[in-house]
Structure 1
Amino acid sequence: MELEQIKSHWQNWASQYKTDLRATTKSGTAKQLEIHALTHALQQFYSPDQSLSILEVGCGNGYNCFALQHAFEQAAITGVDFIEEMVEHAKALNQELHCNIPFYQGNILELDKHTQLAHEYDVVYTVRCVINLNNDELQLQGLSQLAQKVKAGGYLLLIENQTHTHAKQNTLRNSVDLPSRKPASFNHFMDENKLLRHMESLDFKHVQSHNFSSLHDVILYTLVPMINGGEVDYHHPIVSAATELLCKNDPTIYNAFGEFGQNKLFIFKK
């Protein structure tokens, strides 16, 4: 898709689903895992009552921000999204939940020009944001913009879909005669090697990676279709059970299930 088409897609979902989680994902269980991985990653470096500044780029209608505010009550969290309708729904939820999180419209490629944002933050993160830039070059530009917003000694966390793990997932599917799944037309999955090299060039240290969605995705995209006529079922009870299992265990369990999840968490330190 062209960038304007991608923008229209998210505008349509925002208009259709408004403040519902469905505005940003088809999979509620995947969102649970994203929030679990993100929260526990930050808890390695910051205490729950610590004052710190956090910026989410690509915040959608705000679910990640609200979850982090609950986990880090003293944190000053800010959300930015390219889609004005998403921002308006985030503001509506903000009021409904009695939070005080500022939400702004903004472009990941122009963060340095955004007058309402702070110069730098302790933590900057994305969740399935960079993959909405439709080629590798734009994605690297987006990463550079994110990097500029991180304080020295701060962290950049990226939860983004990777071509490598998606290909391994398709290898599993093909082994049981299921066809390969293509990324959504509005997504351009990232090249992990290019990502790591680019972050190194920006003087960021790669601290950790977590394959937090591998078990979930093997079940959702391979095992369930094997017993369900080839169809993915986002609401299948075994998918929910796998999500509960992962969320009730220490995050060190994530990488025990290989590299088969579409989403992967990368942690970088400036």
Structure 2
Amino acid sequence: MKTRFFAFAALALTLAACNNENEILNNDGPVAAQFTADIYKAVSTRVNSEGTGFTDNDCIGINSEDITNVPYVRENGQFGPKGTTIYFNDTETKTFSAYYPYREDSELQNGIVSVNTDQYGQGPEIDFLFASGATGSTSSPTVSFTGEHAFKHCMSLVKFNFLEGEGVDFSEKILKHCILEGLKTVGTFNTTTGETALTVNYPSPITMWFDDGATTSQLFIFPQTLDFTTPLNLSVVYNGVEYTATLPNPSKPVANQFSAGYAYTYNITLSNKGITVEEPEITPWEPGNSNDVSAEL
């Protein structure tokens, strides 16, 4: 199957001359679109690994005025068609948008996917990215989702770094899990606009399990404004003891709001004394340390 930007009559005349599904034809006929893509501030783009952009086997969905949800997959550093090829056949410039990760049409309702970011939903499948404004034509068939048109994070990222305080040794006793309360977890992502929305207006606890020996955890959440009546409470169990702390609400870029494309990093120190909490560092989605959040006995 091929997706082409020209009338059916023109399609019939050109198919006979095309033997290769992915062939880029000369300027006298249809020209296959080529896609390149970067991720803006491309760091920590997966839950369980550090990355500087897309990796092989990542699949994006491409949309334009003429096409809907066409998958292109990255192989050997390049994006190529996954069964359907997009072609140009005139001098008109076409404008494209794209999203990640690709979802089959059966998973979408009017281009919208519904997800729950609770403890069972964390993973790259909810690291939603969106890009728009990239253009291409027969004379310039490379469509570049780079620079100002690069993919941007549509979710927020919350990161926890657990640190040893007095009387705590992670080499002797490991962390099992932590629980964050106060966030809403059910919402939608629009694959044609990049917009997110909450669909359940009450918070649910999110449980994060640690791999053996791990002292960090992170989770994707829907951008959201926090309810002053519902604090962000974090609990973590170490050596059979539960440590708890109330996290401060974000102060920027918008007060009391987790914003799309921003990482909120908390350093949490466990020790055998009281509890102190300070503001986290808030940055565009990139590495950054936080101010301390001390959770103590």
When the two structures are superposed, what TM-score results if normalisation uses the length of structure 2? 0.24
Q: Which has the higher contact order (CA 8 A, sep 6+)?
A: 1
When the two structures are superposed, what TM-score results if normalisation uses the length of structure 1? 0.26
Say which one has the larger Rg.
2
